[in-house]
Structures are given as structure tokens and as C-alpha cells.
Structure 1
């Protein structure tokens, strides 16, 4: 059990790359990609949905790999998928290369996250597990801030976006190397519960609230990450700065807001799971409304991005430790089931939203997504304590 901090650091680094530049890089640089590759809104939505489909496929492969080989192999695959995919984007000369590189890079998010539930089960004391999983999940915040800061730094260069993606690729290589070491020689533990009937347990009624919030946030968050920067740019950008700088500013604020995810376990212990989930979807609602209505106002954009970042990080932590409580004998498979529902929402969100924007406009589509977050608040059950299978901190 001496591997708590190496695992937490390695996991945070892996999620920083996989859920930072590898997953949000396309949305961050979408205005540049529009110019370079003459992308339409619907075409951009299809590429974004394809990337999330790659994430979904990798999740399924990862569950199988972890059961057979443990967490080290899929995390390594994720690091090298990010390296290869982002390298292809960096040298891409046409839409096909852009789409393929984006999708390949996005698979890293499916490979790199859920294995750490298995690793934490094997290498982290139970008293420290929720905090370690929160740290691992919140690594995304650092990755998003770093990606936004780098985009800001290279914004004035003629081929700055290509430089940024080369640096992203090198970060993926470093993360893979760190985790090959951090995940070596984990203690082996034999599951105490039979894996027979695991599929039925994944879809049993106690899991429904968790799966529902994963689907809801998957739909709204994927649309936000894919089109927020584009909406700001099409609306004229932020006053006082070049339009190209609006995206980096948004993502830096988004990542900074995500720092609150480090405290998810502590907040849950104080106010309970039900209040936490309803509160975070309230943040999602406000974030979407602000982005839809006032995309070129500094205060509205910064608050919107920070709230969306908080939603990403807090819900990521909730997905991780709630699924572990529900499925203690099958931590990776249980977490994969939750992420699969999240990924399904990711796949549908940008594609449906991209086509809906043709009639509603991007502003109207952001408002429609806000309605979905409101419905989630109203429908989330008040008896989550009982549904969490004995978790007395819910």
C-alpha cells in the first residue's frame, strides 16, 4: 500500500493528457481548423462525435484488458494512442488526417481513466481511496489549463496550432513513461465476488441514478466542449483581445474552475450526495445559459467556463467513487459501465447539437442543453443514500 501517491500522481498526469489536450484540443482549436480545413458546423460536430465514439470503443476494450492483464497495459496504450493521434493532427494536411488523428487521440481517454479504479483498489488503502480517485480525476483540470495556456502562447505564430499539438504529443509520451513505472508491481488481489451475472448488476436499479446523470452530463458537456469556443468566435470574440485568444482564455478559466474537484470527497461528506449532484447540475444549467446568452461578455464567459470546469471535475470524481461503492468487487467494469453511458451522451451531443444549430443557432442549442440540466436537477431522486448501496457518506 506504499503506492498511494505514485498512483495518484501518475493517474492525474494520465488524465491531464487524455482528458486535456487529447479530448478537448479539437474544440479548443476549432476556429483554426475551420479556416485551415474549411469545416462546416455539422462537419465539426461529426468529427467531435467520432472522437467521443473512439473514447467509447476504448472504454469497452479497456474493461476486457484490465480483467485479463491488469491496469498497466491499457494505460500505456492510452498514452501511445494520444502520442500518435496528436502527432497526426500536428502534421495533418487535410480533413481526413484531422479527423483520424482527433479520433485516435480521443481513444486515450477511454484507455487511461477507468484502469485507475482497479489500481486504487489494489494499491491504495480504503481510507485514502476516495481522495486518491478525486486527485486522479481532477488531473484533467491541470491538462485543460495547460492546453489553454499553450494555445494562448502560440496564438500569434503562423503555424502556432501545429506547434501546440507537437508539444501535446511530447506530453503524452512523458505521461506514458511515468505510468509504466507507477503501475509496475501492483499487489494482486482476488475478487471476493463471483463475476457471474456482472452485466445484470451493472444495470440493476441502484445504478440507475448514476447512469442517468452520466448520460445527461455526457450530452451537455460534449456539446459545450465542442462548440463553446466556436460560439464565442462566431459572436465576435471577447472585447479588447484578438478573436483567436478567446478560446485559450475560455479553457484556462474552465481548467481553473475544475480545481474544486480536489475537494469533491470532502464536500460530499459535508452535504451529502443528493445535494452535491443537484448543486453541480445547477452549475451546469447556469454555465450553459451564460454561454448561450452572453458569449462575448468577459464576466459571463469566465463564470460559465469556470462552472463548466467545476462540473467536469466534480462529476468525474463522483462517477469514480460512486461506481466503486456500487461495484466493490468489479471496480473497473463498474466504472466502465458508468463511463460508457457518459460516452454515449458524448457521441450524441455534438452530432445532434451540430445539426440542431442549423435551425436553432448555437445560442439556441446552448439554451436547449440548459433545459436538460434543469430536468436532471428535478428528476434526481432524493433517496440516493439508499441507492448507493450502504454508502453512509451519501
Structure 2
């Protein structure tokens, strides 16, 4: 569980979201415009989707272990390219490859946790592993705070960490005896919860609602992840050290997403989803309206960090509830939708920011998150197809 959280910290906190955290420094060094920055971020999110589709196929045919090492290899290779980048196109290539790694990491770790953990602890431990994003963001934020010019060594360290954490996960995981069997080995497929379809044709339809919800959540959340720190620096005129400190707080509170499994247990899927997405929407709007107020901005990033990580944890639980015997593949599907939304959201935020201004772009994304909140989870009724 600890190593899994570490791999998520690298693949999400640094390889996927590190670009947005370091955007101010990278934009100055490589002469990146807002449109170019949005395009690079969008390309990284799109690459994530491609890798997640590949990982889903790999898990079904070859098992989660292959997907785990696919994630580690992509993260390490992309991070090395970023650390050595000398032009904007080379930087973009590295960001694209590194950002794609998370697409394999999530489904691989869902498979690893579900086969190695007692059934009653799966949801909680999945949430803890998923909260590794916050650890990575906080670590990268500390570096941005105390050594903004040292972004290249950060990416070298990320490459090494990706390989080391993957090796520990591989060693500590009880992988399924046959490829694609990523459920609890002791659980009989016939014992699926009432209404949980098991046939492939019968389980496609129930995923339509979570796919839509995930896509809208991704579209709305892209603003903060890609342009959040840049907004505070350029629009809010906050000092670089202040914005770096705020991003450390964002990462630290993102660890609270580890409670998403407990939130679902206490509140139920519907209310846990509504709460986490609504808080993400509110914090995005506050960030837009109070970018120059360090206290308000601090509260906003703290709320966003915890709520976003929690909503992604709810998606993992949602996927497992609908397809308990193919949780890794179902998680990949929902995370593809989440990241496809973020790819579109990065382009949308960058484009709207250039035309209407960054504040207006963030408010539009906040409204999109509100729309995601009103797509409630449900469990299909017994016998429903």
C-alpha cells in the first residue's frame, strides 16, 4: 500500500500534474504562451487516455503486473526526457510520455490491491493508494518553494522513484493466477452483489452514467491543475514563494482523499460524489474570484486538493461497485473519461483565458463541475441489464 501510494505520487503528483505546478518557471525558460501550455497539458492528458486503454487490454490479457511495469517504464522514460529538455518540443515530448504513465498506474494498482488485500479493507486501501497524488504534489511544491531552478533534478528523482516503487509493489503483490482475473481470488464470480452484471454486454450500459460524470469532473478540474498556480502568479500577483507554499498545502490536503472509501461507507455513493464534486466546484470559483487574496486562495486550494483526490477515489469505488470482478478495467474506463475531460478542459481553459481572461475561464470550469455533481451514482437494480 505504501509503495503503491509512492508510485501514484510519482506518476500523478509529478509526472502528470508537475507541469502545471512548474508552469511559471517552464513558461519563462521555454517561452511558452498560455495556448501552447494548454496544448502541452492537453496532449499529456490525451496520452494518458491512450495508455489507459492499452493498460486495460494488457490487464485483461496479460495481467496487472505487465501494466505496472508499463507505468513505471513510461514514467521513467518521460521524466528523463523532461530533465534533459533543451527546446519546447522536446519538453512537450517528455511531458506527454511521463504524463501517460498514470494511465497504466491506476488500473494496475487497483488490480494489485484487490488481489492482495482482505475484501473488507479493499475500498479503504484503494483510497489510500489513490491519495498518493497529494504526496507527489506536495513534494514537488516543496522543491518549487525552496529551489524553483532545480526542476530538472526533480524529474531525474521521479524517474528513479518510479522504478523503485514499482519493484516494491511487484514484490509485495499476490498477482492473480491467470491474466485479467483482478478480483479477490477467494471470491466466486457467482457471488456478485445483486444487480452487479457480470457479462461484458450486460455491464457496458451501467458505466454510461459514471463515464459522463467523470468526463465532466475532468473538464472542470483541468483549470486548477494546469493553470492554478499561474493564475495566482499572473492575475493575483502573489509572489512565487507564496504560490509554491499554497501548492504544498494543496498536495498535503490531497492526502485527505484517502478518506474517500470511508466517506462512501458513511454517506453512500450518491452523497459522497455530490459532496466531493461540489467542493471542487466551489473552490475553483473562489480561486478565480479571490486570486489576489492569499487567505481565500489558501482555503480554496486546500479544499480543492482534498475534494479532487476524494472524488477520484469515489470513482474507483463506483467502478468496483458496478463491476466487482473487473475493477481494474472498469477503473481504467472511468479514469480515461476523467482524463479525456481534463485534456479538453486544458484546451478550453487556455483558449477562454486568451479571449475572456483567466478569471472567466475558471468560472466556466467551476460551472462544469457543478454539472458533474448532478450526475448521481446509482447501483443497477437486480436483474437490470
TM-score, with normalisation over the residues of structure 2? 0.90
Question: How far did 1:318 drift?
Answer: 0.8
Question: How far did 1:23 drift?
Answer: 0.7
Change (3 A) 1:162 1:309: same
Question: How far did 1:116 drift?
Answer: 2.2
Question: How far did 1:236 drift?
Answer: 5.1
- Equivalent residue in structure 2 for 1:165, among 137, 151, 155: 155
The answer to whether residue 374 in structure 2 is matched with residue 388 in structure 1 is no
Map residues 241-280 of structure 1 onto 2, 5 A cutoff: 243-280=239-276
Question: How far did 1:85 drift?
Answer: 0.8
CA distance in 2: counterparts of 1:357 and 1:200, whole angstroms: 42
CA distance in 2: counterparts of 1:78 and 1:196, whole angstroms: 28
2:74 aligned counterpart, secondary structure: helix
1:380 aligned counterpart, secondary structure: coil
The answer to whether residue 125 in structure 2 is matched with residue 132 in structure 1 is yes
Match of 1:211 in 2: 211
Match of 1:220 in 2: 220
How many pairs were matched up?
370
Asked if 2 retains the 8 angstrom alpha-carbon contact of 1:80 and 1:176, the reply is no
* Deviation readout 1:236-263 (Å, 9 max, x if unpaired): 542xxxx332442232111122122122
Match of 2:194 in 1: none
Asked if 2 retains the 8 angstrom alpha-carbon contact of 1:154 and 1:164, the reply is no
- Equivalent residue in structure 2 for 1:198, among 193, 197, 200: 200
1:345 aligned counterpart, secondary structure: helix
Change (3 A) 1:105 1:304: same
Map residues 1-394 of structure 1 onto 2, 5 A cutoff: 8-155=1-148, 159-183=149-173, 185-186=175-176, 192=189, 198=200, 201-202=203-204, 204=205, 206-235=206-235, 237-238=237-238, 243-377=239-373, 379-381=374-376, 384=377, 387-389=378-380
**Structure 2 unmatched ranges of 5 or more:** 191-196
Asked if 2 retains the 8 angstrom alpha-carbon contact of 1:29 and 1:247, the reply is no
* Deviation readout 1:153-195 (Å, 9 max, x if unpaired): 212xxx42223222222222322322232236555557837x9
Asked if 1 retains the 8 angstrom alpha-carbon contact of 2:76 and 2:98, the reply is yes
**Structure 1 unmatched ranges of 5 or more:** 1-7
Question: How far did 1:199 drift?
Answer: 5.5
Asked if 2 retains the 8 angstrom alpha-carbon contact of 1:17 and 1:175, the reply is no
* Deviation readout 1:89-116 (Å, 9 max, x if unpaired): 1111001110000000011100111122
Change (3 A) 1:29 1:333: same
CA distance in 2: counterparts of 1:129 and 1:57, whole angstroms: 27
Question: How far did 1:200 drift?
Answer: 5.5
Runs of 4+ with deviation above 3 angstroms = 183-193
Provide the aligned C-alpha RMSD in A: 2.2
TM-score, with normalisation over the residues of structure 1? 0.88
1:57 aligned counterpart, secondary structure: helix
Question: How far did 1:341 drift?
Answer: 1.1
1:68 aligned counterpart, secondary structure: helix
Question: How far did 1:296 drift?
Answer: 2.2
